[in-house]
Amino acid sequence: MDEASNSGPLYLQIAERLARAIRAGTLKRGERLPSVRELASQQSVSASTAVQALRWLEDARLIEARPRSGYFVAARPALLPEPQSSRPGARSRVVQLDELGQEVLRQSVEPGLISFGAACPEPDLFDQDRVRRALTRVVQRHRDLLCTYPLGPGREELRRAVARYALGLGCELQPDDVLITSSCMEAITLCLKAVTKPGDVVALESPTYFGFLEILQSLHLRALEIPTHPRHGMSLDALQLALETQPVKAVLVVPTLSNPMGSCMAVAERKRLAQMVLRHDVALIEDVIYNDLAEQEDKRRAVRSFDSSGHVMICGSFSKTMAPGLRLGWVDGGRWAQALHKIQSVQSGAQTAVVELALADLLNQAGAAAALRQLRATLARRVDEARSLIADSFPKGTRVSDPGGGFILWVELPGGLDAVALYEACLAENICVAPGSMFSASPRFRHCIRLGVGGRWGPEHPQALRRIGALAAQLLDAALIKRAA
Ligand X SMILES: Cc1ncc(COP(=O)(O)O)c(C=O)c1O
Where would I find the beta strands (DSSP E) of 155-289? Answer: 178-181, 201-205, 222-226, 228-229, 233-234, 248-253, 283-287
Q: Which of 166, 141, 258, 176 is nearest to 209 (CA)?
A: 258
Q: State the minimum distance, in angstroms, from the CB of residue 6 to ligand X.
A: 48
Q: State the minimum distance, in angstroms, from the CB of residue 141 to ligand X.
A: 26
Where along the sequence are the contacts to ligand X (CB under 6 A)? 119, 183-185, 209, 211, 254, 259, 287, 289, 317, 319, 329
Q: How many residues does the chain have?
A: 485
Comparing CB distances to ligand X, the nearer of 83 and 211 is: 211
Q: State the minimum distance, in angstroms, from the CB of residue 209 to ligand X.
A: 4
Whether the bond into 83 is cis, omega within 30 of 0: no
Comparing CB distances to ligand X, the nearer of 306 and 330 is: 330
161 vs 388: CA distance, rounded Å: 39
**Cβ atoms of 270 and 302 closer than 8 Å:** yes
Q: Which of 359, 54, 101, 311 is nearest to 217 (CA)?
A: 101
**Phi and psi torsions of 31, nearest 5°:** -75, 145
Comparing CB distances to ligand X, the nearer of 56 and 126 is: 126
Q: State the minimum distance, in angstroms, from the CB of residue 466 to ligand X.
A: 26
Give the rounded distance of the alpha carbon of 62 from its chain centre.
Answer: 22
Comparing CB distances to ligand X, the nearer of 88 and 101 is: 101
Q: State the minimum distance, in angstroms, from the CB of residue 290 to ligand X.
A: 7
Comparing CB distances to ligand X, the nearer of 14 and 451 is: 451
Comparing CB distances to ligand X, the nearer of 227 and 329 is: 329
Comparing CB distances to ligand X, the nearer of 36 and 372 is: 372
Buried b (16+ CB within 10 A) or exposed e, 197-228: eeebbbbbbbbbbbbbbbbbeebebbbbbbbb
Q: State the minimum distance, in angstroms, from the CB of residue 108 to ligand X.
A: 11
Q: What distances in angstroms separate CA 354 from CA 123, 130, 132, 145, one per listed residue? A: 21, 15, 12, 7
Comparing CB distances to ligand X, the nearer of 406 and 469 is: 406
Q: State the minimum distance, in angstroms, from the CB of residue 450 to ligand X.
A: 10
Q: What distances in angstroms separate CA 458 from CA 178, 380, 382, 394, one per listed residue? A: 40, 16, 11, 20
Buried b (16+ CB within 10 A) or exposed e, 106-122: ebbeeeebbbbbbbebe
Q: State the minimum distance, in angstroms, from the CB of residue 315 to ligand X.
A: 8
